[in-house]
Structure 1
Amino acid sequence: MVADTADIGRACRHGPSRPWAARVPDGPPTRHVAGPRENRDVRIAMATTGAGRVEFFDPDGDLHHELPAAEASAEVARLEAESSPRWIWRDAREWAPMLLADGVRVARCHDLRLCGAILASSTAVAAGSIVRARPAWLPAGPAESGADAQPAAAASVDRGPALFDLDRVPVAAAAEAPGAAELAAEHDRQLALVAAADRPAALRLLLAAESAGALIAAELHAAGLPWRRLVHERVLEEALGPRPPFGRKPERMEALAQRVRDELDAPSLRLDSQADLLRALRAAGIGVDSTAKWELREHDHPAVAPLLAYKRLARLLSANGWAWLDEWVVDGRFRADYVAGGTATGRWATSGGGALQLPKAVRAAVVADPGWSLVVADAAQLEPRVLAALARDPAMAAAGRGRDMYRAIVDAGVVATRDEAKVALLGAMYGATTGDSGRLVPQLAKAYPRAMGLVDRAARDGEAGRQVTTLLGRSSPLPPAWWREAQAAASQPEATAAEERRARSAARDWGRFTRNFVVQGTAAEWALCWLAGVRTRLSAMASGERSAGVPGPAFARSPHLVYFLHDELIVHAPAGMADDVAVAVREAAAEAGRLLFGEAPVEFPLDLAVTESYASAGA
C-alpha cells in the first residue's frame, strides 16, 4: 500500500529545487498534493446520509451511491485497492478510527476541518480575491480562537462518532451533517483559495501534511504504545510505596507531608492546598511569592527538601499513577487521544492520557514486544536549526553543521558555556528579557544578526497586532478583543498611566507569542513532513503478513509508528527490520529538510537508538 504521505515524497522529488536564497517553496504548483483528478484521477467524498447509511461520491466521475454503514469499510477497502483515491472527509476523526478498527488503512485524505482552519486565517490567501467564508458545519480552528486555544481544541475532541455502527450513529447528527456533494463543493472552494494564494505550492504542501497528520494521529491511537504494566507498577512502588486504599495518599507521600508539617510547625497543613501551603511557608519565615520549585530552592530551610520531594511524587501520582494506569493502559498498550493541529502553531495536543508529557520515570514501562524493537528518534535542537534556515543565517547554519549547535556557539566565542548557549538561544526565540537570557541575547544578536533579526521582526509585528506566518503558510491568530480594547484605551488622550502600562504589557506578551510562532510553527511543519515521510517508507516495508503480536487488525507484521512528541517519534518494528527502519527514519528527516528549505546548508540530525526499552534510548 502506498501511504498518504507519498504525496510529500513526490513533492520533494518532483517539486522545484530551490536555492537557499528562496525562503519558501513557491515555484510551480507541487504535484500530487491536492486537486481534482490527481492520485490516479480519483477523489471521493464520504458522508453519512442518515438512517445508518454512508454516501460515496466522486465529483469528477460516475461514482455516486449509498451503502448501509455496516458495509462501508469493505467499500472503502475496495475503492482504495482499485484507485487509491484522495478521500474527502469533513473530519478524519469521524472515519479513520472506525476504518482502522475494521482493518482498513487509506493512503491519503483531505481533512476539510483542518485545512479549512488553516485557509481561513492564512495571510498567504489573497484577501478579497475569493470568498473566504466556509460552511457552518466546519468548526473553527486554534488560529481563529486566540493563542490560548489549545485547551478548547483539545476539549472539543472525543473518540468520534462510530459511523459504521448502526446503533452508534445518532439520527439527528447524521441528518444535520453535510452530504457528500457538499463536502466536494467545500473541497473545490479550498482548492480555489490555494490556487489564488501567494505561494500555492507551499500551501498545498501544508494541507497535505496536515491531512496526513490526521491519519497518523488515528493510527497512533489504534496501534498504541507497547506498555508493561508490571514494570510501571514496580516504578510506582519504588517511588511511592505500595498502592494505597482508595482516597488515601501513598505511604511515602504521607511521611514527607508529615515532615513538612513538623518543620513548618503546622500540624493540620494540607500540602495540596496552594493557599494553605503558601500561608504556612510565610508564617515560618520563608518569604516566597509562590510554591514553584525554582523559588523554593532559593531558600535554605529544613522544610524545603521534603516539600520538593512531596511535590515530585504528587506529580507522578496524579499524572501517571495507578489511576492513570488503570484508565489508559489496556491489553498492554497505551492509547492516547492525539489532536492533530491542536494548537495555534500547528503543534499537536492530546485530549487525554498526557502522551506529550511522559516523564522519564515511567518510560521504563515502554518495552517492545518479544521479537520486536523500538526505533526511537529525536530531532536534535530542531527549533534553532529551523530558525537558521528560515533566516538564511550562514553563521548559525554553520554552527549546527555536523555537531552540537550549542557547543559550536561556545566554540565561536559567543558565550562561555553550553548551558549559556542553550539559555540564550531559547531565550531569544521565546522573548526572555530578564535573568541570564536577557543578559546573553545581545551577544547572540551580534553573532547571528539575521536569525535574531527575524524573531525581532516577528515580535514587533505581534506588538503591533499584526499576524505572522510560518514558512508554508499557517498564520498566527489576531489578538483577542480584550487586547485590542487595551490598546485603544491607552491611545486616548485621557488614558491613565495604569491603562498605558496594561497596554504595553499586553503588547509585549503578544509579541513574545508571535516571536516564537514563526519558528515553532515551521518546526511543526518540518515534523509533520518527517512523520509523513516515515509513514510512507514504513508502508513500503509492509510484508502483508498478519501478526497476532500487533494490536488492531489494521497493522500487518511490519513496522509502524506508535508515538510522537513534537520532534520525537517511536517506531515499533520487528527486530530483523529495525536497522532498515532506522535508515528510513533518517532518510525521511533529511527529505523533510530538503522539502521545506531546498538545498539550505542546515542539517537536521537525529539522536537515534534501536532498543528494547524507551528508558534506555537516551542512555
Structure 2
Amino acid sequence: MTAARARWRAVGRRGDGDIDIAVVDAAGAVIERGRVNAGELAGEIAADPDARWISSDTTAWYHDILAAGVRVARCHDVRLCHAILRDSSLVTDGAKLRAATVWDAAPDDPVSDRDVLFSLEPAADALPHDLDATLAEFARQARAIESATDPGRLRLLTAAESAGALVAVELHTAGVPWSREVHDAILADALGPRPRPGELPSLVRDLADQVRAALGDPAASLDSQPRLLRSLHRVGVLVESTSKWELRRHDHPVIEPLLAYKRAMRLLSANGWAWMDEWIPTGRFRPVYVPGGVVTGRWASSGGGALQLPRMLRPAVRADPGWQLVVADVAQLEPRILAAMSGDLALADAARGRDLYEGIVARGTVPTRQEAKMALLGAMYGATTGDSGRLVPSLRRAYPRAMALVDDAARVGEEGGSVRTLLGRTSPAPSAGWRDLQADAAEPEASDAIKTLARSRARERGRFTRNFVVQGTAAEWALAWLADLRQRLVSFPSVGDHPVTGRAHLAFFLHDEIIVHTPVEHAEAAAAAVREAADAAGRLLFGSFPLDFLLDVRIAASAEKS
C-alpha cells in the first residue's frame, strides 16, 4: 500500500484466499484499503513497524507472520478486547457490544488451525475473520472506550491484553529450552528406567506390589477408585476417598506405599515419557498459552500443562550451549497488589524491600511468618474458620484499608453485584439460578434449608469477588511487566536471524514468574531489564505509590529452584 504510515492498520481474510488490509483511523474508519496474498502480508507488516495492527484474533495469524521472519510490535486483538469491554462496568453503554455475540466465540486453535486466517472456508462457529466484520467490531469498541467513565484505564487494559496475545504466540514459537536427557534421568530416578510400551516402570511395579501385599490382595486394582476403596475398607482403612489428606489420618502399613504409588503414577501420566515424546520431540517445550483464559484475566493453557509443571522437572529446563536463563519471580505478588490498590501505607511499608510476611511479623501483627501468610491469604480468599479466620481480625486492625477493600468486594458479591479490577475488568454477574435461589430464600414461607443454601451460595460468591479484584489486578500488573520487558528485549543485540529467538527473549511465563533465554554475554543486561520492567509496571499502574515489587532474579543454566 502506498498510504502514509498510520498508527492503526487492520487485516482480514478474503473468501478467495487473499488478505484485505487497510489503513484506518482510531475510530476504525478506512483511510485506504488494499489486497495482498498471504506471502505479502509479512512484508506489509515489516514495512510499517510502528503501526498497531487490528485483527480478529492474534492466535489465528501471528504464528505465520513470525514464521515468515517478521515481528509485530503492537496490535489490537478484537476478540480479547471484546470480552473485556462487553462486561466492564466502566463502559456506559455496552448493549451493542453484548449484541455482537459472534465475538464471544472461542479462539481458533493456535497450533492445529493456525492457518485459519488464510483458509478458503471459515471453520464452523469460528470468529469472523473478514476485514469488514473486524473493523465494525473495532469501531464499537472504540466508541465504548471513548464514552467510558474512565477511558484511560480501558485503553491501558486493552493495550496490555493485546500485547499479551503477541507474547503468548512468541512464547509458543520460542519454546522453553529443555533437556530430554535430564528429563529422562529424573524419570528414571523416580520411577525406574523407561519401560517397554504397555509396561510400568520397575519402581512403580515395586510400589504396586507393596500396596497389594499390605492389602493382602495380589489382584487388587489400584487405579480404579471404587475398587481400591473396597480393598481399603476390607483392611479397616475406612476412607471415603483416596486423597492424601484423608489417607494420612489413618495408621496402616498400606498408607505410605499407596501415597508413593499415587505420586509416581501422577508423574508418569502427566509428565512421563509419553508426555515428553509428544510435547518435547526435540529440545523445546512449546506450551499453548491462552491469554485471558481465566475470568480474572489470568492466562490458562490448552495443552502441555505449562501451568502445572512439577518442581522436580525444573532441572530439565536448561539453556542452550552459550546461553543462560534469567529466572525471575515476584515475592507475594497478590498481597503487594492489595497494598497498592487499597493505598494501605502500613501494608506497603511491611513489604518494602523485604519478604512481606516477615514485615508483618516485624510490625507485631502476628507472631510467625507462617501465621502472617495464612492470615493474609485467608483475608484475600475469604477464610472465615480455623487459624486463618482467627488471625484475620488482627490484620483488620493493622491494615484497615487493605482489609476494607477485600471485605467490601465480598459484600458486593454476596449481594449479587459485580466488582472490577484496577483497570476495569469486571467480574461476571451471578447466574439466573443464583438469583432465583436468593429470591426464593427471601420469601416469607422459605424453608430453613433454602435459606441456609442461599446464604452458603452468597458466601461462595463473596469469596470469589473478594479475590477477583486482587487476582485480576495482579494479572494486569503481570501483563504490563511482560509487555514492557518484551519491548526492552527487542533492543538487545541480534545473534541470529529470527525476530524473537535471534536475541535474548522471553521463554516462559506463569502468573508471577518469567524465564528469559539469553546469550551468556547479555545475561546481566537481561536481568537488569527484568527488574526495570517490573518497576515500570508498578509505576504504570500505581503511579508514585511507595511500593516495590520484590523480585528474586537469578542467572543460571537451569530453572531448578534452590
TM-score relative to the length of structure 2 = 0.94
What does the per-residue CA deviation read over 1:478-532, in whole Å, with 9 as the maximum and x for residues that have no partner? 1123222222222223322222222111111111111100000000000000011
Task: Give the equivalent residue in structure 2 for 1:93.
Answer: 59
* Cα offsets for 1:67-116 (capped at 9, x unmatched): 22233223332333xxx211010100111111111111111000000001
Match of 1:379 among 330, 334, 337: 330
1:422–1:429 distance in 2 versus 1, CA, 3 Å: same
Query: Within the alignment, does 1:125 sit opposite 2:91 as a pair?
Result: yes
CA distance in 1 between partners of 2:375 and 2:235 (Å): 36
Given that residues 256 and 310 in structure 1 are in contact (C-alpha distance below 8 angstroms), is that contact kept between their aligned partners in structure 2? yes
Question: 1:126 deviation in Å?
Answer: 1.2
Deviations 1:198-245 (A, max 9, x none): 111111100000000000000000000000101101100110002223
Gaps of 5+ in 2: none
How many Å apart are 1:578 and its aligned residue? 0.5
With over 3 angstroms needed to count, the CA separation of the structure-2 counterparts of 1:374 and 1:572, relative to structure 1, is: same
User: Which protein has greater RCO, CA pairs closer than 8 Å, 6+ apart?
Assistant: 1
Q: Does 1:598 align with 2:550?
A: no
Contact 2:325 2:516 in 1 (8 A): yes
Q: Distance in 1 between matches of 2:493 and 2:543?
A: 30
Question: What residue number does 2:513 align with?
Answer: 568
Q: Which amino acid aligns with 1:135?
A: A
SS in structure 2 of the partner of residue 602 of structure 1: coil
Of 137, 157, 162 in structure 1, the residue corresponding to residue 102 of structure 2 is: 137
Which of 263, 270, 273 is the aligned partner of 2:221? 270
Whole-Å separation in 2 of the counterparts to 1:610 and 1:172: 45
Greater shift, 384-393 or 499-508, is seen at: 499-508
| SS state at 2:325 partner | strand
One-letter amino acid of the counterpart of residue 236, structure 2: G
- Is 1:214 aligned with 2:140? no
Cα distance in 2 between the residues matched to 1:520 and 1:199? 21
Partner secondary structure for residue 105 of structure 1:
coil
Q: Tell me whether 1:252 sits opposite 2:200 in the alignment.
A: no
Cα 1:570–1:538 change in 2 (3 A) is same
- Whether contact under 8 Å (1:98, 1:164) holds in the other structure is no
Q: Is the 8 A contact 1:582 1:610 kept in 2?
A: yes
Report deviation, 1:164: 8.2
Any idea what SS the aligned residue of 1:87 has? strand
Whether contact under 8 Å (1:542, 1:556) holds in the other structure is: no
Q: CA deviation at 1:134?
A: 4.9
For 1:527-606, what aligned pairs fall within 5 Å after superposition? 527-543=478-494, 545-546=495-496, 553-555=498-500, 557-606=502-551
* Correspondence for 2:48: 79
Deviations 1:418-454 (A, max 9, x none): 1111111111111112222122222222221111111
1:317 aligns with 2:259: no
CA spacing shift, 1:460–1:565, aligned 2, 3 Å:
same
CA contact (8 A) 1:72 1:164 kept: no
Partner of 2:111: 159
Distance 1:172-1:593 versus aligned 2 partners, 3 A rule: closer
* Contact 1:59 1:181 (8 Å CA) reproduced: no
Alignment of 1:241 with 2:192, yes or no, is yes
Partner of 1:455: 406
Instruction: Give the distance between the partners of 2:42 and 2:501, measured in 1 at CA.
Output: 17
**Deviation sequence 1:315-341 (CA, Å, 0-9, x none):** 111111011101101320000000011
Paired residues of 1:47 and 1:180 also in contact (CA < 8 A): yes
* Counterpart AA for 1:221: H
Whole-angstrom CA distance in 2 between matches of 1:203 and 1:183:
19
Q: Separation in 2 of the partners of 1:157 and 1:429?
A: 34
Q: Tell me the distance in 2 between the aligned counterparts of 1:280 and 1:443.
A: 47
Q: How does 1:43-62 map to 2 (within 5 A)?
A: 43-60=8-25, 62=31
Amino acid at match of 1:368: A
Judged with a 3 Å threshold, the aligned counterparts in structure 2 of structure 1 residues 346 and 396 are, in CA distance, closer, same or farther, namely: same
Mapped contact 1:388–1:396 kept (Cα < 8 A): yes
**1:57: how far off?**
1.2
Query: Which residue matches 1:364?
Result: 315
Give the RMSD, CA atoms, in angstroms: 2.1
Identity of aligned residues (%): 54
**CA distance in structure 2 between the partners assigned to 1:220 and 1:595 by the alignment:** 24
Query: Using the alignment, how far apart are the partners of 1:467 and 1:158 within structure 2?
Result: 32
- In 1, distance between residues paired with 2:102 and 2:18? 19
Match of 2:97, SS state, is coil
Q: CA deviation at 1:40?
A: 6.0
What is the CA-CA distance between 1:306 and the residue it aligns to? Answer: 0.9
Closer/same/farther in 2, CA of residues 165 and 520 from structure 1, 3 Å limit: closer
Counterpart for residue 6 of structure 1: none
SS at match of 2:71: coil
Aligned AA (2:548)? E
